[in-house]
Amino acid sequence: MKVVDIGTDKIKGYIDKRMNDGMSNASINRELAALKRMFHLGAQNTPPKVNFIPYIPMLKENNARKAFFEYDEYVTVRDNADDDFRPVVIFAYHAGCRIMEILNLVLDKIDLAQGTARFEDTKNGEAREIDFSGIPELREVIEARLKEGDGCPWVFHTADGEKFTTYTYNKAWLRACVRAGFYKEVVYDSGQKIKAPSKLIHDFRRTAVRNMVRSGISESVAMQISGHKTRTVFDRYNITSGKDLKEASKKMGAYHERQANRGVVVPFPIQQQAQA
């Protein structure tokens, strides 16, 4: 269609068609975003290549992922991962870094004496450090890698000494999830069936944030470690699980029981710790 023929009515008709095709709101929004970008790029030319930018309605999305790993699930995936990929799984679970930050980490950014790893190739462009000195499993993995001395500059690499790519790490992740039982079958229109992970490696990032907060690390420090710049995104990662709610219920019950026994209001243990 010509640009002059594309108006809000045409766009709404396109949205209806894509919804009837079974497309999700998120997928339709990505297409609408591309259309919106096209109009804006045309308008930024001199002279403008489009005379007007139509109103492009976006659909409501509610697809924020809430999955995370319990410890036994992590152990199952870790133990079923390929030998060369297992260190990546361990690092992702404990450090909560983005997967590409982990795969881009080079050996000369590791300070074993201080127990730190420095990330300079980050999503937001700001370098940051994490401290692994107090996490035995993570320190053991990094120490083993430093002792190899195979000439490969990357902290994590394939058995062939190559850097993990998006393709190779996705294949390794799929193998680990299938062996661990965390997969689903996807059936295409053609009838072809494939196996796909039911958990994402990015779920480790969400898990690490939750674990940091639950272990008593302040949220500001947890945000610094994970590299979250905004509180909104961080809160999305700080998921409350059913187990957390059950634990909270037990603490409330114990608190009320102490009140009944003593006949006085007593502070929560967490308030005592804060005062201390």
Sequence-ordered list of residues with C-beta below 8 angstroms from that of 30, at least 6 positions apart, any chain: none
How many domains does the chain divide into?
A: 3
Q: Is the pLDDT of residue 63 over 60?
A: no
Least confident among 8-17, 144-153, 164-173, 263-272: 263-272
**How high is the pLDDT of residue 273?**
45
Domain harbouring 122, CATH code: 1.10.443.10
Q: Is the same domain home to 120 and 87?
A: yes
Determine, yes or no, domain membership for 210. Answer: no
Domain of 39, in residue numbers: 1-63
Tokens of 97: 């870094």
Determine, yes or no, domain membership for 118. Answer: yes
**How high is the pLDDT of residue 248?**
52
- The helix-helix angle for 8-20 and 25-43 (nearest 10°) equals 150
Q: How far apart are CA 183 and CA 66, in angstroms?
A: 17
Q: Is the same domain home to 125 and 192?
A: yes
Determine, yes or no, domain membership for 203. Answer: no
Determine, yes or no, domain membership for 261. Answer: yes
**What residues form DSSP beta bridges with 197?**
183
Least confident among 47-51, 102-106, 151-155, 217-221: 217-221
pTM of the model: 0.62
Please, what is the average pLDDT of the chain? 80
Q: Is the same domain home to 158 and 130?
A: yes
Tokens of 121: 């190739």
